[in-house]
Amino acid sequence: MNASLVVQKMKRSVAVILVLLILGFAVEPITSVVSAHPAAAAAAQTRRRVRRKRSFWKKHRDKLTVAGTALGGAAIGGLAGGKKGAAIGALAGGGGGAVYTYKIRKRRHRRY
């Protein structure tokens, strides 16, 4: 096989993996869905505030989203334009992720 074909296949596979990682950061994990539990219903009736342990994802969701988009932008920029492209891609990806995280995304806070 020609060396350029091998490089193109490798770049394509790396790009696919990076896109999948970016999509993985954008979707909230399925495990964070709150299930209906009898103990939770009883706690809601007594009006006591129960502190639940937050997962690592819930504690650091904003930072992980921005870091993931910056990493994805750097990878795509690096594939397209080398070191300078990686730097530009990281800035663009991080900036886009920050705008989404802190300005666009709706926050769903439950207040009782």
pLDDT higher for 19 or 38?
Answer: 19
Find the helix or strand (DSSP H, E) in which 29 lies: none
CA distance 33 to 17: 26
Question: Are the CB atoms for 58 and 39 separated by under 8 Å?
Answer: no
In a domain, 16, yes or no: yes
Quick one: average pLDDT of 51-73? 88
pLDDT > 80? residue 77: yes
Residue 76, domain extent: 1-26+57-106
Predicted TM-score (pTM) of this structure: 0.50
Angle at which helices 3-26 and 61-99 cross, to 10° = 110
Render pLDDT for 13-22 as a digit per residue (tens, 0 to 9).
888 887 777 7
Residue 86 falls within a domain, yes or no? yes
Domain count, the chain: 1
In a domain, 19, yes or no: yes
